Each structure stands twice: as structure tokens, then as C-alpha cells.
């Protein structure tokens, strides 16, 4: 039987490794499951780090997720009516801390366009303010639009928000480029977020305490001397959602059994961070 002689300078072990590596790279996966297995194998072989693998998996998943699954539902949309005064609009921008708002004409099915909060910086208080003059065109997409295609449209059109419509052309909700990116790379943090390595309860420069909504009720009770039940809600965020029956707004304060929770960060679907006063006559609650 003929034998294959390794090229000069290469041992049999080296040649075998190169053959296996070549086979791994040349082999084409036949379906998504095989592709994921190949990526996992590459991660185990240290060819991909965990973050890179997570982003690739998120990008692949985006092709299977629709706008309907990610959008902010219609009842939770923060909208501005075209008839609102300048003071009313400014108050809503400050209250919600959003950068973009759908502008409606009387009802949520009549979307005139999008208002960018930054455009209001160019408004002079002594000028006659007409909101219609500051409205930009809105983008409308069907609720079954896949996220990968939507991200491509956002990039080409340079829009950061789209209105999601149902099969009857009614407004189902809205979606932003951040909503799409978070499905791929994970939650995008801003200046109101804790560092990932930080604790769930930390002292804020204001003298209040920043509390992550994911903090266990039992841990909160131990830190602040409260007696909230965790029978039905395991986290502080769940406690608030159960109390008011909706996702609270930015800067909203919810009082539960004598404890005030001020919302520092939330979006249309969940609460992230709260501000809470420390217990009286106590130092650091941790």
C-alpha cells in the first residue's frame, strides 16, 4: 500500500493537525444547527472568544426575529400631539429623556412624523412655535419585518426609529435601532447604568442609593430594613410592576409601604435602575 510522505520540514503530527484544521475550515454546514456547532467548536478551540461568539449568535438570531417581537407596543409609546405647546413638549422630553418621539394628530393611528429632541435646541422662545415645522418624515415597516433586514434599512436611510404597522395598516408600535442592536450585541448601557462589576445597591452622588431592578426582594429588605414579601415577586422591579400594573416612566416615583422608588432608567418594556433613600439613622445599606 502506498504511503503519503509529509512535505520536507513537516512531521507526521504537524501534517495531521493541518489536515484536521483544513477539514474544519473547508467543511460547509448544511443547516443552522451545524453552523452553530461549528462556531461552538471554534470557541472551544480558542479560535473565537466568548464575546465574538455571542455577537455572531445574536446576528444569526436576528434573521429569525421580527419587529413585532422587539417593538415598543402601541399603548406604551411616548407620543407628542401636533397641537401641543412648546412648554408641553419640553416637559415631556425632560420627563422621558427620549431622543425621538412620534408626532400624532389626535390619535395614535395618525402619525405625522418624528420629532428629534435635539431639534428643539434651535427653537427661540420668542418665536411663534409650530410643531409641524419641526416634524421629520416617519418610516413605516410591517410587523413581520426581520431584524437583519431592518438594520440594513436603518443603516442606509440613516433613520433610528420606525413605526410598526399591522396587517390592517394600523400602528402596532415602534422600534428603534437600539432595540435591534441590543438583540445582536446585548443590552447597550448608557450613563445611567451601573458597571457590570458593580453591586446591585450603590451610593449615588445625590445621597440616594442606586438600586438595580434585578435586585432580589430579600436582599433589598436586608439592606433597607423593609419587609416586602417575595412570595409573588422575586425582584424589586417585579415588585413595582405588580404594584402599578405597568412599566413606570423615567423619573416617576412609586411609593410602596412607605418606601419611595424613583425611576432612574426604564424603557417601554422593563425597569433597569431605581433611586431609593437609605434607611434612617443608617450608613451604607450594604
pLDDT digits (tens, 9 = 90+) for 88-132: 999 888 877 788 999 999 888 899 999 999 999 888 776 788 899
**Residue carrying C-alpha cell 443547516:** 31
> What's the confidence (pLDDT) of residue 122?
86
Hey, is 10 helix, strand or coil?
coil
Categorize the per-residue pLDDT at 225 as very low, low, confident or very high, splitting at 50, 70 and 90: very high
Hey, is 72 helix, strand or coil?
strand
Burial class (CB in 10 A: 0-12, 13-18, 19+), 263: buried
- Give the containing element (helix H, strand E) for 261: strand 259-266
For the sheet with 209-212, list strands across it.
201-203, 209-212, 271-276, 259-266, 253-256
How does DSSP classify residue 30? S
**Residue carrying C-alpha cell 460547509:** 28
56 in the Ramachandran plot: left (φ > 0), alpha (ψ -120 to 50) or beta? alpha
Q: How many Å apart are CA 142 and CA 96, to the nearest integer?
A: 26
Distance of CA 41 to the CA centre of its chain: 29
Mean pLDDT over all residues of the chain? 80
C-alpha cell at 194: 451601573
Tell me: pLDDT of 23 over 60: no
- The CA–CA distances, whole Å, from 108 to 84, 97, 173, 232, 251 equal 14, 20, 9, 34, 24
**Residue carrying C-alpha cell 406604551:** 76
Across the range 45-73, mean pLDDT stands at 77
Q: How many Å apart are CA 276 and CA 220, to the nearest integer?
A: 10
Categorize the per-residue pLDDT at 32 as very low, low, confident or very high, splitting at 50, 70 and 90: low
Task: Please indicate whether residue 227 or residue 19 has the higher confidence score (pLDDT).
Answer: 227
Helix 217-224 to helix 236-244 angle, to the nearest 10 degrees? 100
Strands (DSSP E) along 63-170, which ranges?
Answer: 72-73, 80-81, 100-104, 111-116, 140-142, 161-165
Tell me: pLDDT of 38 over 90: no
> Which are the contacts of 10, defined by CB distance < 8 A and separation ≥ 6?
18
Amino acid at each position: 500500500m502506498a504511503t503519503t510522505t509529509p512535505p520536507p520540514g513537516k512531521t507526521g503530527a504537524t501534517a495531521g493537525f493541518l489536515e484536521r484544521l483544513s477539514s474544519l475550515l473547508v467543511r460547509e454546514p448544511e443547516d443552522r444547527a451545524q453552523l452553530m456547532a461549528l462556531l461552538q467548536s471554534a470557541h472551544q478551540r480558542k479560535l473565537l472568544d466568548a464575546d465574538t461568539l455571542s455577537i455572531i449568535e445574536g446576528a444569526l438570531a436576528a434573521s429569525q426575529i421580527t419587529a413585532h417581537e422587539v417593538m415598543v407596543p402601541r399603548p406604551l409609546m411616548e407620543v407628542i400631539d401636533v397641537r401641543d405647546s412648546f412648554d408641553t413638549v419640553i416637559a415631556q422630553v425632560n420627563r422621558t429623556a427620549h431622543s425621538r418621539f412620534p408626532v400624532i394628530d389626535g390619535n395614535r393611528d395618525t402619525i405625522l412624523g418624528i420629532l428629534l429632541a435635539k431639534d428643539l435646541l434651535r427653537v427661540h422662545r420668542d418665536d411663534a412655535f409650530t410643531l409641524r415645522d419641526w416634524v421629520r418624515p416617519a418610516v413605516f415597516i410591517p410587523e413581520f419585518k426581520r431584524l437583519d433586514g431592518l438594520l440594513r434599512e436603518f443603516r442606509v436611510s440613516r433613520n433610528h426609529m420606525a413605526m410598526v404597522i399591522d396587517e390592517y395598516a394600523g400602528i402596532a408600535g415602534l422600534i428603534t435601532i437600539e432595540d435591534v442592536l441590543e438583540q445582536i450585541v446585548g443590552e447597550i448601557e448608557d450613563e445611567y447604568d451601573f458597571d457590570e462589576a458593580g453591586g446591585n445597591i450603590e451610593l449615588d452622588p445625590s445621597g440616594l442609593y442606586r438600586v438595580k431592578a434585578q435586585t432580589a426582594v430579600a436582599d433589598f429588605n436586608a439592606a433597607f430594613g423593609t419587609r416586602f414579601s417575595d412570595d409573588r415577586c422575586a425582584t424589586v422591579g417585579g415588585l413595582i410592576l405588580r404594584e402599578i400594573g405597568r412599566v413606570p416612566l423615567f423619573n416617576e416615583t412609586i411609593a410602596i409601604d412607605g418606601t419611595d422608588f424613583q425611576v432612574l432608567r426604564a424603557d417601554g418594556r422593563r425597569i433597569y435602575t431605581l433611586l431609593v433613600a437609605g434607611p434612617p439613622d443608617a450608613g451604607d445599606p450594604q
